[in-house]
Structure 1
């Protein structure tokens, strides 16, 4: 049985997440478990939405050395199911009383997650960009 679609195709935050994720060498998007999921080869490096159709978090797997510090980030949460494997979810929408989303910072987190699973040629292509 196929999973129901858990996102709005016209969501501007999804468009921004796509822009960040698909800028990486050979990155691909496929729907998985009803959510936009980003792959480097056959391995997942990011997913938009974690818990439901209105979820605007971006799921990434940071470097193990950075994870502890990132747990204190105001936009970070430990997602169910994925959290025990090292994944974190970062809120992409602006929150009342918080600074605006830093998309440069999110792009760095996505790149770190990508590097964890990307093939050597993909990492070399990324490094060649400068």
Structure 2
């Protein structure tokens, strides 16, 4: 059974995320589990648009960017109330941040996407 689509193709926040993520070298977007996932061609994903948390206080975050966070940055990011631990990917070092607020720091979002991209990138792409 296919997953339902969990995003709006005309979402201007998604358009902004796409513009940042797809500007990274050899990046492509794929649909998985009803959401846009961003990959380096033939590599694992480095970002997802939208997520949620599980447990008794399940919360959906439809306008979030989920990225892999470096182990040394994770403790500080987890303490930051803007970040959340996403279902399924959280135990693997990923965190999410909502990006639909008017005061979203898009420079920070670009840095998070770049760092996550670098985590997945093959050595030949890192310069």
Range with greater deviation from structure 2 (69-78 or 20-29): 69-78
Whether the aligned pair in 1 keeps the contact of 2:61 and 2:98 (CA below 8 Å) is: no
TM-score (norm 1): 0.86
Q: What SS does the corresponding residue of 1:108 show, helix, strand or coil?
A: helix
Q: Which residue of 1 aligns with 2:56?
A: none
Following superposition, the deviation at residue 82 of structure 1 comes to 1.2
The equivalences for 1:64-103 within 5 A come to 64-94=71-101, 100-103=103-106
CA 75–82 in structure 1, closer or farther in 2 if over 3 Å, else same: same
Q: How many residues align?
A: 120
Q: What SS does the corresponding residue of 1:50 show, helix, strand or coil?
A: strand
Q: Which residue of 1 aligns with 2:23?
A: 23
Q: What SS does the corresponding residue of 1:65 show, helix, strand or coil?
A: coil
TM-score (norm 2): 0.88
Unaligned runs of 5+ in 1: 125-130
Following superposition, the deviation at residue 48 of structure 1 comes to 0.1
Unaligned runs of 5+ in 2: 53-58
Whether the aligned pair in 2 keeps the contact of 1:37 and 1:47 (CA below 8 Å) is: yes
Q: Which residue of 2 aligns with 1:116?
A: 119
Following superposition, the deviation at residue 53 of structure 1 comes to 8.0
CA RMSD in angstroms, aligned pairs only: 1.7
- Which structure shows the higher helix fraction? 1
